[in-house]
A and B are shown apart, each in its own frame.
Chain A
Amino acid sequence: MKILVAVKRVIDYNVQVRVKEDNTGVVTENVKMSTNPPDDNAIEEAVKIKESGKATEVVAVSVGEEKAQETVRKALAVGADRGILIKADGILEPLAVSKLLQKIVEKEKPDLVFMGKQAIDDDCNQTGQMLSALLNWPQATFASKIEIKDKKLEVTREIDEGLETIEINIPAIVTCDLRLNEPRYASLPNIMKAKKKPIEQINASDLGVDTSPRIEQIKVEEPPKRKAGIKVKSVAELVQKLKNEAKVI
């Protein structure tokens, strides 16, 4: 069984994001970049499945600028066998990304495609579902548990009401929740080894997909600031403020 894992390079989750002064976007220069956190869970799960003997190959793929290679390299350092970078500049909407991934799926013919449930930059939560639609494959979104049963997967999904379990036939798409597993850290020897693993580079323009944006970003602004609050000295003062000032209890 072959697993393709899609990973995205995003601003690190710990960075306080700042809006550009000209309102065209957010500041990305000299900002720490990392793998989108739930994509780490996706890689971890694929590598665990391979370690259990149920998969033979894990291929990491990323779409983005040249530097997204670092993200692919990180996936290789935690156990992916080889990488693919689809090079594309500028804003890529999830629809464009899923069409590019569809081309890779057609070429690589994986049995499973894993990725994070949502990217923490654009917060779209679309790519996995869109890829499933384009391939007409089953989709198991927001997965917090995956069990492989022969040619099926049993997946537990985190939904608003609690948990849902579905059974899907392979080939399938799974989008991973942060609670799926505990991603490992790359060890130094494995980081060195990863440098020797191959990363195939493909230009998005060579895949015959129109990636031009369909959504015009008119402006990006700071959200309204909350008025500064106060510190209260005691519980009694807190309750008095909530009752008489805020009038919420």
Chain B
Amino acid sequence: MSVLLVAEHNNKELKPFTLNAVTAASQMNTDLHAVIIGNNCGDVAKKLSELPLVKKVIQVEAAHYENFVAENFAPVIVKLAENYSHVVCSANTFGKNLMPRIAASLDTSQVSDIIKVISADTFLRPIYAGNAFATVKSKDPKKCITIRPTSFDPCESSGGSAPIEKAEPSEEFNNTKFVKREEIKSDRPELGTARVVVSGGRGMQSGDNFKLITSVADKLNAAIGASRAAVDAGYISNDHQVGQTGKVVVPDLYIAIGISGAIQHLAGMKESKVIVAINKDGEAPIFSVADYGLEADLFEAVPQFIEELNKLNTIQK
């Protein structure tokens, strides 16, 4: 039996984490098919067919798939799942919303947010905000798996030419209506995939002071992150939150500024390759995971940091 990957896209482009999910899914079984559900998404289906690891693309289109409502997506995937041993997608808000609805319909106990494929039925996943790693084996005949995208490399994105088949849409679910989506547009790298992330916490004291974070991020071509405290305080919007209930990031460089480092925040960033912490409280838990810690008042240290970066006179691309 083969693996069915649910592609994440916006009807125009594949979401980058789909490539990471393809890598993970291919480790469960190389006979990998990808389903794309959307509206006028033919160009994206073609992109998907060019991924060398994908053996077949199934395209399902209907107007009610335009906005990725899980209640509309689940029935069509459940039907397709008859022919597959695994259904896989990314553990981001798209997959978290959708996959359990599929799993319950298939009477399968879902395995969420895996970070390693040990075998076709055995996986590694973090629990308790990453304070423990559990090795789990799914005994269900059909497996529903969400994968943590930052734990898998993106697959090759060109060179393949898988056939594209169309499948019949399912009926519309009438009790849920999409109203609107407010996406925050930015020219910066995406938080989930950025090479450098600069994050601010409660220590920033105001939304206005986040300008300091922005300036550092500009210098390093970085994405901007935040602790839950900073988002709750309204300093910055929710899409920047890093942590157990926000996003998980694994950049080459993570700079935590004015973040104390509650375990819920560490859960979202402690796998970063190099971690820098700037905090005036020398006892702050963030220093326990920092490769380089600077105990200093951020309002003095960060302007100096920007100045030093200016001296290097390089903007990282």
A is bound by B: yes
Residues of A within 8 A of B (CB): 11, 13, 16-17, 19, 26, 38, 93-96, 98, 117-118, 120-134, 137-139, 141-142, 144, 154, 157-169, 172, 177-179, 213-223, 226-227, 229-232, 234-236, 238-239, 241-243, 246, 248-249
The interface centre, meaning the residue of A11, A217, A222, A235 with most chain B CB atoms within 10 A of its CB, is: A235
B101 touching A133 by the CB < 8 A rule? yes
- Please count the residue pairs between chain A and chain B whose beta carbons lie under 8 angstroms apart in the complex: 264
User: Does B293 sit at the interface, judged by CB under 8 A?
Assistant: yes
CB-CB contacts below 8 Å: B78-128 with A:
91-94, 96-105, 107-113, 122, 126-128
- Are A126 and B103 neighbours in the complex by a CB distance under 8 Å? yes
7 additional contacts (CB under 8 A) given A126-B103, A161-B181: A131-B104, A141-B97, A158-B93, A215-B136, A221-B135, A230-B291, A246-B292
Is B69 an interface residue, CB under 8 A from the partner?
yes
CB distance from A118 to the nearest CB of B (A): 6
Q: Are B139 and A130 in contact (CB under 8 A)?
A: no
How many angstroms from the CA of A120 to the CA of B262 in the assembled complex?
14
Q: Are A124 and B244 in contact (CB under 8 A)?
A: no
Do A172 and B100 have beta carbons less than 8 Å apart? no
**Do B305 and A235 touch across chains, with their CB atoms under 8 A apart?**
yes
The verdict on A248 contacting B273 (CB below 8 Å), with A17-B132, A223-B126 known, is yes
A-chain residues with CB within 8 Å of residue B130 when the two chains form the complex: 223
Nearest-CB distance from A233 to chain B (Å)? 8
Residues of chain B with a CB closer than 8 A to A166's CB: 69, 176-179
Q: Is B232 within 8 A of A164, CB to CB?
A: no
Q: Are B276 and A242 in contact (CB under 8 A)?
A: yes
> Nearest A residue to B247 by beta-carbon distance?
A160
Is there a chain A Cβ closer than 8 Å to B228's Cβ? Answer: yes
Q: Quick one: given A162-B238, A179-B238, are A219 and B134 in contact (CB under 8 Å)?
A: yes
CB 8 Å contact bits of B290-310 with A (1 = contact, 0 = none): 111111100001001100110
Residues from chain A with Cβ under 8 Å of B56 in the complex: none
Name the residue among A13, A133, A134 with the largest chain B CB count within 10 angstroms.
A133
- Contact partner of B312 among A130, A133, A223, A249, CB < 8 A? A249
Tell me which residues across on chain B come within 8 A of A162, comparing CB atoms. 181-184, 237-239
Residues of chain A with a CB closer than 8 A to B136's CB: 215-218
Assess whether B239 is in contact with A160, with CB atoms less than 8 Å apart: yes
A93 to B232, CA, bound (A): 31
Whole-angstrom CA separation of A218 from B308 in the bound complex: 50
User: Given the complex, which residues of B lie within 8 Å of A235, measured CB to CB?
Assistant: 294, 296, 301, 304-305, 308
In the assembled complex, the Cα of A138 lies from the Cα of B97 at a distance in Å of: 12
Residues on the A chain within 8 Å of B295, using CB: 231
- B305 near A215: Cβ-Cβ < 8 Å: no
B175, A137: Cβ atoms under 8 Å?
Answer: yes
The 30 sampled A-B contact pairs (Cβ below 8 Å) are A11-B128, A19-B131, A120-B129, A125-B112, A126-B99, A129-B98, A133-B101, A134-B104, A139-B71, A141-B70, A159-B94, A159-B181, A162-B182, A164-B178, A164-B180, A167-B179, A168-B176, A169-B176, A179-B238, A215-B137, A215-B139, A223-B132, A223-B133, A226-B289, A229-B287, A229-B293, A238-B276, A239-B312, A242-B292, A249-B309
Does residue B22 face the partner (Cβ distance < 8 Å to A)?
no
Chain B interface size range:
35 or more
Taking beta carbons and an 8 Å cutoff, which residues of B are in contact with A? 69-71, 74, 91-94, 96-105, 107-113, 122, 126-140, 173-184, 192, 196, 220, 228, 231-232, 237-239, 244-245, 247, 252-253, 263-264, 270, 273-276, 282, 287, 289-296, 301, 304-305, 308-309, 312, 314, 316
> Chain B interface secondary structure, helix, strand, loop or mixed?
mixed
CB distance from A39 to the nearest CB of B (A): 13
The verdict on A248 contacting B274 (CB below 8 Å), with A133-B104, A223-B132 known, is yes
Distance between B138 CB and nearest chain A CB, rounded to angstroms:
5
- Is B101 a contact of A130 with CB atoms below 8 Å? yes
B175 in contact with A168 (CB, 8 Å): yes
- Residues of chain B within 8 A (CB-CB) of A213 are 109
The residue on A at minimum CB distance from B266 is A226
Whether the Cβ atoms of B291 and A229 lie closer than 8 Å is yes
Residues in A with CB closer than 8 Å to B102 are 133
Residues of A within 8 A of B111 (CB): 215
With A and B bound together, what is the CA distance between A162 and B239 in angstroms? Answer: 5
The answer to whether B131 touches A123, judged by C-beta atoms less than 8 angstroms apart, is no
8 Å CB contact of B245 from A121, A133, A178, A227? A178
Interchain CB contact under 8 A, B109 and A214: yes
The answer to whether A133 and B100 have CB atoms under 8 Å apart is: yes
Q: How far is the CB of B209 from the nearest CB of chain A, in Å? A: 18
Nearest-neighbour CB distance to chain A for B250, whole angstroms, equals 13
Residue of A at shortest CB range from B267? A123
Q: Does B108 lie within 8 Å of A126, measured CB to CB?
A: no
CB-defined contacts of A241 to chain B, threshold 8 Å: 292
Are B137 and A216 touching (Cβ within 8 A)? yes
Contact in complex: A246, B309 (CB < 8 Å): no
Please list the 8 inter-chain residue pairs (A to B) with the smallest Cβ-Cβ separation, ordered nearest first.
A129-B100, A130-B104, A214-B109, A133-B104, A126-B100, A229-B291, A165-B179, A169-B175
Bound CA span A98–B105, Å? 12
Query: Given A162-B182, A231-B294, A235-B301: A221 and B128 within 8 A (CB)?
Result: no
